[in-house]
Homo-oligomer: A and B are copies of this chain.
Amino acid sequence: MKDITEERYVDGKPKLRRFHQARWDEPIIFELSNEGERGILVPEVEEELKGSVGDVLSRIPGKMLRKKRPELPELSQPRVLRHYVRLSQETLGTDLNIDVGQGTCTMKYSPKVNEQIARMPQVAEIHPLQDEETVQGILEIMYKFEQILKEISGMDRFSLQPGGGSAAIYANASIIRAYHESRGEADQRDEIITTIFSHPSNAACARTAGFKVITLYPNEDGYPDIQALSAAVSERTAGLMITNPEDTGIFNPKIEEFVDIVHEAGGLCAYDQANANGILGITRARDAGFDLCQFNLHKTFSAPHGCGGPAAGAIGVADELGKFLPVPVIEFDGSKYRLNYDRPESIGKIRSFYGVVPVVLKAYAWVMSLGAEGLKEVAETAVLNNNYVLKKLLEVPGVSAPYAKGKRRIEQVRYSWEKLAVDTGVHSEEIGLRAADFGVHYWTSHHPWIVPEPCTIEPTESYSKSELDEYVQIIRNVSDEAYKNPELVKTAPHNSTIHRIDHAPLDDPSQWAVTWRAYRKKVKRDKAGE
């Protein structure tokens, strides 16, 4: 028998947990198929109705009628359930782990009460085209939530339509374009300025909206470089799209000057507030002069991340840009809520209907459970937690926090394991895989890879000091192991659902397989010669 007592380290509190993730070794669902099984029956059609309409399929012209049935798996209902419940256990949600290792993602607690409300028929079973009289409740919530966001950001108008943070950033780029178009300057003003530590979607959305992108790098102190900005602006400047605090957790103290410089050059300024968790009630976009901003309701506002959505973005703009917002907008005449489509200068539709309504509802409920003081408590505690973890982690051998040395951070910190890599040959990614052996996330996606051997930790307000201590202890332990027994770290994970993956095929067109059918054709058949 394996002696797992070893695994509980005792050099400090709390002890490390002897973790093993659920491993169900579950086949691909197609491999479970048994011909003829049914997972659910569809509603029967009344004989009388059938008789009345005759053979409807015969009305489909031959070539439009499906000939070969789709080769979907055939499984009973309990087997489908079992498959997915098992897969769920192999997935590490925030409900399960001390989820501070996916820095910039704001993995906070998603209150269950809000989820339960969002699943009521009064939300789930309403159609977006129902008569407005019959959806006053949900319109009221959306309207009221816009008022809340106005107060939080200082902006004048909001739209809740975008389906995520990046979609919201894109919408803002689109509004900037519409603004310059309305002034006849669209052709001239085709440059968007951003910073390298602003989230990549700022650059990507700007480009997608047709702009050229100018990226500023930090100055020696690690702050966005104001000189570089002054050099970059011109009569071609359409706008500035920027995250603050940046993904490094550093707040740009010259943010107002940045805005002024861009304004002076005739550009608009859009504030990516996906990292707003640490500044709720502390500082506001409009007060720094921004013309547009966006929030991620699935991050700061506590809606769950759902394995990558449903998400929701909210965009806020200053009064003069209000007319460009997507249609429809929600209006209130003192007694009724209504949807107004009659907005000739609008950029139009960003997505189907009015936004990701259940996510908006959860965000509304979250704010209403906290109020102004509670939101400020969120920010203050998140920042305190972050600086606490910073203090503790910097005591761990091999890690550093580049840039803005000695300064406080806001919502997260981008660390570097450069020294550890040099000392031991263990890379940041490997640290993450070993951390997984203790039941926590530690993600490896830190584009741009400017900070060497990066690692971003964002504690948020949702974890207790003892849980933060546990996380730090895990990282300290992995660092110890890297120094003492690097092989152990380099072969991790050992206690996960699966073992080291060979990633090579995923970048090879002749081997990659995004579906089981492709895999069967390209890999299985090739191999087994079947």
Contacts and interface: CB of A to CB of B under 8 A. Distances in A.
A21 B18 contact: no
A86 B76 contact: no
A464 B76 contact: yes
Contacts of A439: 24
Interface stretch (A65-73, A77-85, A138-146, A303-311): A77-85
Interface residues on A, range: 35 or more
B25 A22 contact: no
Contact of A24 (B17, B26, B86, B112): B17
Interface in A472-519: 491, 494, 499
A20 B17 contact: no
Contacts of A79: 464, 467
B82 A95 contact: yes
A464 B96 contact: no
B78 A22 contact: no
A440 to B, nearest CB: 12
A465 interface: yes
Q: Could you tell me the dominant secondary structure of chain A's interface residues?
A: loop
Contact of A85 (B8, B86, B96): B96
A24 B34 contact: no
Given A1-B491, A34-B465, A77 B22 contact: no
A460 to B, nearest CB: 10
Interface of A: 1-2, 4, 8, 17-26, 32, 34, 37, 76-79, 81-82, 85-86, 89, 95-97, 109, 111-112, 439, 462-467, 491, 494, 499
Given A1-B491, A1-B499, 17 more contacts: A2-B494, A8-B25, A17-B24, A18-B25, A19-B25, A20-B21, A20-B22, A21-B22, A22-B22, A76-B462, A77-B111, A78-B462, A79-B464, A79-B467, A85-B95, A86-B96, A89-B96
27 contacts: A1-B499, A2-B494, A4-B499, A17-B24, A17-B25, A17-B26, A18-B25, A19-B23, A19-B24, A19-B25, A20-B20, A20-B21, A20-B23, A21-B22, A22-B89, A24-B439, A32-B466, A34-B465, A34-B466, A37-B464, A77-B109, A77-B111, A79-B464, A81-B109, A81-B112, A82-B97, A89-B96
